Amino acid sequence: MASSPSVSAARSASVGYRRHHAFRLIVLVILLAVLALLIVQPLGWIVFNSFHDDDTGQWTLRNYVQIFASTSRWVPLFNSLLLATAVAVISTLLGVPLAWLVARTDMPMRGFIHLLTMAAFVTPSFIGALGWILLAAPNSGWLNVGWRALSGADWPLLNIYSMIGTIFVCSIFTVPYTFTLVSSALEEMPVELEDAATTLGSGVVKTMFSVTIPLVMPAVLVGFILSFIQGMTLFGVPAFLLTPSGTLVVTTKLAEFYQLFPPALYMSAAYCMPLIAITGMLFYARRRILGRRQFTTVGGKGRAGRKIRLKGWRLPALAFALIVPITAVVLPYIAIVLVSLSRAWGLGPIPSNLTLHWYRWAIFENAETQRAIVNSLLYAGIAASFCMIIGILVAYIVERKLLRGAGLIAALVTIPIIIPGIVLSVGFFSAYTRQPLNLYGTATIIIAAFVATFLPIAYSQAGSILKGISPDLERAARSVGATEARTFASITAPLMRGGLVAGWLLVFIPIMRELSVAIFLVSPRTNVMTTLIYNYKDGGNYEAVCAASALLLFATLIVVLLARFVTEGAAYRRRNAASLGAAP
Amino acid sequence: MAAFSRRHVLMGGAASLAASALRISPVSAADDALYAAAKKEGALNLYWGSYEQKTIEEIRDAFKAKYPGIEVSLLRQASQTIFTRLRLEIQNDAVQCDSIGTTNLLHYKDLQKLGAIQPFKPTNIDMVPEAFRSIDPENTYHVGAISLTTINQSTSVNAPPTSWTALLDAPWANQITTGSPAFSGDVASWVVAIRKKYGDDFLRAFTKQKPKVGQSNVDTVTDILSGERKVGSAAPFSYSLTQQAAGNPIGVTVPSDDAILNLGLTAVPTKAPHPNAGKLFTDFLYSVEVSNILAKNFWPTLRTDVPWAEGRTLESIKWYRNPVDNLAAEVAEGIAKWKEIVG
């Protein structure tokens, strides 16, 4: 190239420029078309529905007026705000240090804790709630029975049927969001910065709070927001744990709307609109907090895999790190597995009551469960992959400001996750059950709904990673003549890889455990595990519920382990390459 | 428990004997024509909320065995979900359902108003208990399931309450578990019935007993089996018996002041893609095969000539069914009063 005559160089540069712009245009048009189909159309239906009357089908503003006109309507909104804020705060307080301990220190049992925290993520929330009912119901909960036996007291130590109980259970099952986001950011961070602080005399804890955590702030904030949204949209836990005290939250109130005659679908749509405003404010706050600050942690230099030594703090750190694995996985799953191994769970774990019948039944005898396991894995895999592709493209456009109005696209892709699944499900039904795009009854409609619902996670994760990658590296590639696409493919994407696998899991797992969004979209052929498990729960067959849940956990954990194998393999190769590069 | 299964086998055998004695041929002449038409349609999409997964799967499998050549798909979800879905299908002109079966009469009143379900008379409807033979003068919907709401109790309770009013006695304070009428249609029926019988005073006294209110009436069984509470009010009769038969420490008491009977119903949508298959399935519901499956799973049977499990019959149980007129308003009022008084 350098030896070419200048005229031909200019011509080829101009062809390259046009080609580059044509490519950019095609990618943008396809992306916008996909977003319009996946998000604008279903959301449009939900907004459209919200302005209609459930009884007459006429245009009205009545739904909105009614939300604020009666206490019974706005109190659940208030309760949800309380629940979601508490869940976000607790999940962050537990999740961020946990991520740091696992990713950056020499705490013992890190792999085990990582795996169990992911297992907490896999568990559908209503299963977790069920486990905790067995553990901490005021009269019969095993922990309370043990407490009474030990202390002689006649009052329960724990009451899971309370707002505090609900916050606790929601939080421990939400921590994995923050944990995964922050630990993947920490793994991408160079240790030189921490070393610098230590050299200047800063202790481990001080370094963590003054250097490490501020650097992974984008991930922490996304974790906070996702936890908040989780607290807003969870149905299973409040349905089980708050109903006895008569406390309603948004999702249980929506369930009430759906029980009315005719079902108040349009009212429900209007009821979700305040949630969009609240989430909008959160994302706006995130932008303001992060502002113009720099979070570039991935520069041109390689990273060392060295861990921070905790010394005497190793055991206290381990005790802290075990909170989530024990409360969210070990204890509830002891209960769940015991029930799944019972002929009749009311008899308790006595030898004559033990059986493998429910596993045999689920794996070999029942065609519905077999099909649902395959469907769940397949749909979640495909949807998570699409989610990541779209999420990265949107994040790249937004972070690198490739398009005017990119902020609007960012806002758009973050909306679906805040809308409770049962309302989204109706939006997707309306959007995809009419010509020319009649996808009703197909796997495509379910995958599309999953992609749209969980796109915000993919986008947020991709955005956090991109914030950490210096544009200088991309500029370097561009300056030597690489196109935008080539730069992305050969520089940005490989640098993002580790984070992308974490992001893929962050989408894959919630899809595996998602229930509501599929509820009006599944057909007998496209049934998924969660809808089936909920049916067994509905019919009171808890032994089958627990066996199916244990299988769901097992299947998802295999995928988690495979993904870790892939990331660790990549990290190993990267380290090897770095050391080879460093050799003289 | 072995005695139970032997008894069932014997009972099933007895029912088949009775069937052959009555010369009920497996496929009637009318069914022959309908079967041919259904076979031509080739498929059947069932949307069912009545009966739990296991029972409805057994019914589906029996249908497939009896009528080969029809591809049967079963969508089993909660009744209200099934109903909402069919309504969405109707709104979007994308009806896939050939046979809907849910536990709530109001669903059918609504569908009837929309002209969304078609009139027809099942050929063997005469085998159904007389009280449930012609529930709709227009013949657009028919009985699909009989569901009873009773009291259930832990086997550790020696003298369970024998009536709804006995639940208000001192020993049952802090011991009762129940479902919520806002979430469960069966509990809503119970609230309407109990208010008709005893007025809101019952709800006030009931509240003083500090019942634990779950969502579904199935939760009563969960609370009893886990030991959280001892007695279930507005409890599911058939499901409690199934759990008892599985060996769980639970029993059922039919209250002397009436079990509350709630009819599950079924219909064929006007725009069903395979209407003949839908009608054939309705006919099949009233067959001996299905009633045997129901008896085996502790459901009340749909035929007078097939006894229920443990030899029970509709006549042997004192039951009450809410009057149909004005039911929608009474359900709404019942839920509102419950929220006001019980919480």
A33-47, A152-166, A289-303, B76-90: least confidently modelled range:
A289-303
Please name the residues between 152 and 171 in chain A that touch chain B, using a CB distance below 8 Å.
161
Average pLDDT over residues A49-69: 90
Domain boundaries, chain B: 2-144+265-311, 147-261+319-341
Is residue A541 less than 8 Å (CB to CB) from chain B?
Answer: yes
| Record: contact B215-A239, CB cut-off 8 A | yes
CA distance B212 to B228: 9
Exposure string over A373-388, b if 16+ CB within 10 A, otherwise e: bebbbebbbbbbebbb
Answer yes or no: is pLDDT of B7 > 60: no
In this predicted structure, the answer to whether residue A450 has a pLDDT above a threshold of 80 is yes
Q: Which domains are delineated in chain A?
A: 8-348+369-582 (1.10.3720.10)
Chain position carrying tokens 């508490």 = A86
pLDDT at A463: 84
Task: Decide if A430 and B331 are in contact by the 8 Å CB cutoff.
Answer: no
CB contact under 8 A, B92 and A433: yes
**Weakest-pLDDT range from A57-61, A409-413, B16-20, B233-237:** B16-20
**Scanning every residue of chain A, which has its alpha carbon at the shortest distance from the alpha carbon of B188?**
A259
In 3D space, the residue among B166, B167, B179, B164 whose CA is nearest the CA of residue B209 turns out to be B167
- Compare all CA atoms of chain A with the CA of B76 and give the residue at the minimum distance: A535
Give A259 or B294, the one with higher predicted confidence: B294
Q: Scan residues 250-269 of B and list those with Cβ closer than 8 Å to A.
A: 250
Read off the pLDDT band of A476 (50, 70, 90): confident
Nearest to B180 among A243, A519, A532 (CB): A243
B81-89 average pLDDT score: 92
- Residue written as token pair 């049962």: A422
Output the pLDDT for position B20: 43
Per CB-CB distance under 8 Å, the chain B contacts of A535 are: 52-53, 76-77
Task: Return the higher-pLDDT residue of B190 and A421.
Answer: B190
DSSP A450: H
Touching B: A residues 485-524, CB under 8 Å: 519-520, 522-524
In B, minimum Cα distance to A425 occurs at B85
Tell whether A43 lies on the interface with B, counting CB pairs under 8 A: no
User: Is B147-261+319-341 a CATH 3.40.190.10 domain?
Assistant: yes
Distance CA B287, CA B132 (A): 15
Arithmetic mean of pLDDT, B270-285: 97
The reported pLDDT for the residue numbered A583 is 36
Q: Tell me the residue length of chain A.
A: 584
**pLDDT tens, A410-421?**
888 888 888 888
Inter-chain CB proximity A522 and B215 less than 8 Å: no
Mean pLDDT score, B291-298: 96
Let me know if the fold of B2-144+265-311 is the same as that of B147-261+319-341. Answer: yes
Segment 321-340 of chain B within 8 Å of chain A by CB: 328, 331-332, 339
CB within 8 Å: B182 and A256: yes
State how far residue B17 is from chain A, nearest Cα, in angstroms.
Answer: 30
- CA B163 to chain A, closest CA, distance in angstroms equals 24
Residue B245: its chain A contacts at CB < 8 A?
none
Between A196-205, A307-316, B75-84, B322-331, the lowest mean confidence (pLDDT) is in A196-205
Nearest CA in chain B to A426: B88
**How many CB pairs below 8 A link A and B?**
137
**Cβ within 8 Å of A, B 201-240:** 212-216, 218, 221-229, 236, 239
Question: Which residues in chain B touch residue A440, judged by CB atoms under 8 angstroms apart?
Answer: 89, 92, 94, 96
Question: Is A139 close to B229, i.e. CB distance below 8 A?
Answer: yes
Pick the CATH number of B2-144+265-311 from 1.10.490.130, 3.40.50.1370, 3.40.190.10, 3.40.1080.10: 3.40.190.10
- Residue from the list A240, A256, A539 with its beta carbon closest to the beta carbon of B52: A539
Contact A243/B at CB under 8 A = yes
Question: pLDDT confidence of A198, banded at 50, 70, 90?
Answer: confident
| Statement: residue B330 has pLDDT above 90 | yes
* Res. A14: pLDDT tops 70: no
Q: Which residue of B has its CA nearest to A132?
A: B226
Q: Is residue B187 scored above 90 in pLDDT? A: yes
The model's pLDDT over A390-405, given as tens digits with 9 standing for 90+, comes to 999 999 888 877 777 7
Tell me the range of A18-32, A146-160, B137-151 where mean pLDDT is highest: B137-151
Task: Give me the mean pLDDT over the A285-299 stretch.
Answer: 68
H helices within A105-190, ranges in order?
Answer: 110-122, 125-136, 142-151, 163-187
pLDDT bin (cut points 50, 70, 90) of residue A561 is confident
What's the pLDDT tens digit per position in A240-278?
899 888 899 999 999 889 888 788 999 999 999 988 888
Distance from CA of B256 to the nearest CA of A (A): 26
Q: Which residue of B has its CA nearest to A257?
A: B182
Q: What is the structure's pLDDT at A10?
A: 64
Over residues A381-397, mean pLDDT: 93
Contact across the interface for A433 and B328, Cβ inside 8 Å: no
The 10s digit of each residue's pLDDT in A306-358 is 677 888 889 999 999 999 999 999 999 888 899 899 988 888 888 888 999 99
pLDDT at A164 over 80: yes
